[in-house]
Structure 1
Amino acid sequence: KYTGMDRFECRQALVEDFEKAGVVDHIEEHLHQVGHSERTGVIVEPYLSKQWFVKMKPLAEEVLKNQQIPDQKISFVPERFEHTFTQWLENIEDWCISRQLWWGHRIPAWTSETTGELYVGTKAPEGSDWKQDEDVLDTWFSSALWPFSTFGWPEDTADLERYYPTNTLVTGYDIIFFWVARMAFQARYCTDNRPFRDVLIHGLIRDRQGRKMSKSLGNGVDPMDVIAEKGADALRFFLTTNSAPGMDLRYDETKVDAAWNFINKIWNASRYVLMQLEPGEVYSIDPESLSASDQWIMNRFNRTLAEVEKNMDKYEFAIAGNVLQNFVWNDFCSWYIELSKTDKSRNTSAVLLEVMKKSILLLSPYMPFVTDTIWEALPGTAGSINTAEWPASFKFQSDPELEREMDLVLQIVQSVRELKAEYRMKPSAPIVIFVQDETGHPVTLSSKAAGALDGLCHARLSDHEPEGECATRTLGTFVLSAGLSELVNVSEEKARLQREMERLEKEIMRGEKMLSNPGFTSKAPAAKVAAETQKLENYRTEFTLAKEQFAKLDKIQTKK
Structure 2
Amino acid sequence: MLEKTYEPAAVESRIYDAWLEADAFAAGAGAKPGAETFTIVIPPPNVTGSLHIGHALNNTIQDILIRFNRMLKKDVLWQPGTDHAGIATQMIVERQLAEKQLDRRTMGREKFIERVWEWKAESGGTIMNQLKRLGASADFSRERFTMGAAGQPDDQMVRAVTKVFVELHKRGLIYRAKRLVNWHPGLETAISDLEVENIEVKGHMWHLRYPLADGVTYQFPITDEEGKVTGHETRDYIVVATTRPETMLGDSGVAVHPEDERYRGLVGKFVELPLVGRRIPIVADDYADPALGSGAVKITPAHDFNDFEVGSRNGLEAINVFTAHGAILDADFTPEKYRGLDRFEARKAIVADLVALAEENSARGLDHIEDKKIMVPHDEKSKQVVIEPFLTDQWWVKAEVLAEPALASVREGRTKFVPQQYENTYFAWLENIRPWCISRQLWWGHQIPAWYGPDGEAFVAHGVEEAQEAADRHYGKPVELTRDPDVLDTWFSSALWPFSTLGWPDETPELKRYYPTDVLVTGFDIIFFWVARMMMMGLEFLDEEPFHTVYMHALVRDEKGQKMSKTRGNVIDPLQLIDEYGADATRFTLAAMAAQGRDLKLAIGRVEGYRNFVTKLWNAARFLELNEARRVADYDPRANRLPLNRWIVGATARALAEVRAGIEDYKFNEAANAAYEFVWGTFCDWYVEFAKPVFGGEDEAARAETRATAAWALDRILVMLHPMMPFVTEELWAETGKSGPARETMLILAEWPDLSGLEDSEADAELAWLIDVISNIRSVRAEMNVPAGARLQLVVTGAGEQTLARLVAGTALISRLARLEEISPRSEVPGESAQFVVGEATFALPLAGVIDLGAEKARLEKDIGKLDAEIAQIDKKLSNEQFVAKAPEEVIEEQKSRRDAAMARREKILEALKRLS
Q: Which amino acid aligns with 1:79?
A: Q
Q: Which amino acid aligns with 1:111?
A: Y
Residues 1:52 and 2:413 aligned together: no
Three-state SS of the structure 2 residue aligned to 1:215 is: coil
Three-state SS of the structure 2 residue aligned to 1:49 is: strand
Match of residue 103, structure 1, among 431, 444, 465: 444
User: Unaligned stretches of 5+ in structure 1?
Assistant: 501-548, 550-560
Residues 1:141 and 2:492 aligned together: yes
The aligned counterpart of 1:151 is: 502
Residues 1:92 and 2:433 aligned together: yes
Structure 1 residues 425 and 481: CA distance shift in structure 2, 3 A? farther
**Does the CA contact (< 8 Å) of 1:172 and 1:203 recur in 2?**
yes
Distance 2:792 2:368 in 1: 93
Structure 1 residues 63 and 44: CA distance shift in structure 2, 3 A? closer
Match of residue 712, structure 2, among 354, 359, 372: 354
Distance 1:359 1:324 in 2: 8
Structure 1 residues 65 and 368: CA distance shift in structure 2, 3 A? same
Give the TM-score of the pair, scaled to structure 1. Answer: 0.77
**Which of 57-66 and 332-341 deviates more?**
57-66
Distance 2:645 2:844 in 1: 29
Match of residue 420, structure 2, among 48, 55, 79: 79
Q: 1:271 offset after TM fit, Å? A: 1.2
**Does the CA contact (< 8 Å) of 2:438 and 2:488 recur in 1?**
yes
Residues 1:369 and 2:720 aligned together: no
Q: Which has the higher strand share?
A: 2
The aligned counterpart of 1:273 is: 624
Q: Which amino acid aligns with 2:460?
A: V
**Does the CA contact (< 8 Å) of 1:435 and 1:478 recur in 2?**
no
**Does the CA contact (< 8 Å) of 1:173 and 1:202 recur in 2?**
yes
Q: 1:418 offset after TM fit, Å? A: 5.4
Structure 1 residues 2 and 432: CA distance shift in structure 2, 3 A? closer
Give the structure, 1 or 2, with the largest relative contact order (CA under 8 Å, sep 6 or more).
2
The aligned counterpart of 1:5 is: 340
The sequence identity of aligned pairs, in percent, is: 35
Three-state SS of the structure 1 residue aligned to 2:684 is: helix
Three-state SS of the structure 2 residue aligned to 1:52 is: strand
| Alpha-carbon displacement from aligned partner over 1:432-481 (angstroms, at most 9, x marks no partner) | 642535x8996322876566546645767655447865735313444444
Structure 1 residues 400 and 100: CA distance shift in structure 2, 3 A? same
**Which of 83-92 and 356-365 deviates more?**
83-92
Three-state SS of the structure 1 residue aligned to 2:365 is: coil
Q: Which amino acid aligns with 1:53?
A: W
The aligned counterpart of 1:120 is: 460
Q: Which amino acid aligns with 2:430?
A: L
Q: 1:92 offset after TM fit, Å? A: 1.4
Give the TM-score of the pair, scaled to structure 2. Answer: 0.48
Aligned residue pairs, count? 486
**Does the CA contact (< 8 Å) of 1:63 and 1:188 recur in 2?**
yes
Q: 1:250 offset after TM fit, Å? A: 1.3
Match of residue 165, structure 1, among 516, 531, 536: 516
Q: Which amino acid aligns with 1:47?
A: F
The aligned counterpart of 1:475 is: 837
Distance 2:845 2:564 in 1: 59
Residues 1:412 and 2:773 aligned together: yes
Give the superposed CA RMSD.
3.5
Q: 1:86 offset after TM fit, Å? A: 1.7
**Which of 243-252 and 179-188 deviates more?**
243-252
Distance 2:845 2:599 in 1: 53
Q: 1:119 offset after TM fit, Å? A: 0.9
Structure 1 residues 391 and 341: CA distance shift in structure 2, 3 A? same
Q: 1:102 offset after TM fit, Å? A: 3.2
Q: 1:40 offset after TM fit, Å? A: 10
**Does the CA contact (< 8 Å) of 2:594 and 2:667 recur in 1?**
no
Three-state SS of the structure 2 residue aligned to 1:176 is: helix
Distance 2:806 2:666 in 1: 42
The aligned counterpart of 2:591 is: 240
Match of residue 804, structure 2, among 443, 456, 478: 443
Three-state SS of the structure 2 residue aligned to 1:297 is: helix
Structure 1 residues 269 and 11: CA distance shift in structure 2, 3 A? same
Structure 1 residues 363 and 467: CA distance shift in structure 2, 3 A? closer
Distance 2:644 2:533 in 1: 55
Q: 1:152 offset after TM fit, Å? A: 1.0
Q: 1:374 offset after TM fit, Å? A: 1.4
Structure 1 residues 482 and 119: CA distance shift in structure 2, 3 A? same
The aligned counterpart of 2:748 is: 386
- Residues 386-535 of structure 1 mapped to structure 2, 5 A cutoff: 386-393=748-755, 396=758, 399-417=760-778, 424=787, 426=789, 433-434=795-796, 436-437=798-799, 443-445=804-806, 452-453=813-814, 456-457=817-818, 462-465=824-827, 469=831, 471-481=833-843, 484=846
Three-state SS of the structure 2 residue aligned to 1:87 is: helix
Q: 1:289 offset after TM fit, Å? A: 3.9
Q: Which has the higher helix share?
A: 1
Structure 1 residues 101 and 56: CA distance shift in structure 2, 3 A? same
**Does the CA contact (< 8 Å) of 1:36 and 1:44 recur in 2?**
yes
Distance 1:442 1:40 in 2: 71
Structure 1 residues 468 and 89: CA distance shift in structure 2, 3 A? closer
User: Unaligned stretches of 5+ in structure 2?
Assistant: 1-328, 332-338, 469-478, 696-702, 856-915
Distance 1:468 1:476 in 2: 17
**Does the CA contact (< 8 Å) of 1:466 and 1:483 recur in 2?**
no
**Which of 442-451 and 291-300 deviates more?**
442-451
Q: 1:82 offset after TM fit, Å? A: 1.0
Q: Which amino acid aligns with 2:492?
A: F
**Does the CA contact (< 8 Å) of 1:234 and 1:259 recur in 2?**
yes
Structure 1 residues 46 and 287: CA distance shift in structure 2, 3 A? closer
Three-state SS of the structure 1 residue aligned to 2:628 is: coil
Three-state SS of the structure 1 residue aligned to 2:518 is: strand
Distance 2:729 2:612 in 1: 15
Distance 1:435 1:138 in 2: 78
Three-state SS of the structure 2 residue aligned to 1:434 is: strand
**Which of 474-483 and 270-279 deviates more?**
474-483
Structure 1 residues 83 and 467: CA distance shift in structure 2, 3 A? closer
Match of residue 206, structure 1, among 544, 548, 557: 557
The aligned counterpart of 1:328 is: 679
Structure 1 residues 99 and 464: CA distance shift in structure 2, 3 A? same
Q: 1:216 offset after TM fit, Å? A: 2.7
Residues 1:174 and 2:529 aligned together: no
Q: 1:373 offset after TM fit, Å? A: 1.4
**Does the CA contact (< 8 Å) of 1:470 and 1:482 recur in 2?**
no
The aligned counterpart of 2:406 is: 63
| Alpha-carbon displacement from aligned partner over 1:217-259 (angstroms, at most 9, x marks no partner) | 2222222222222222212111111131222111212212221
Structure 1 residues 426 and 216: CA distance shift in structure 2, 3 A? closer
Distance 2:845 2:567 in 1: 66
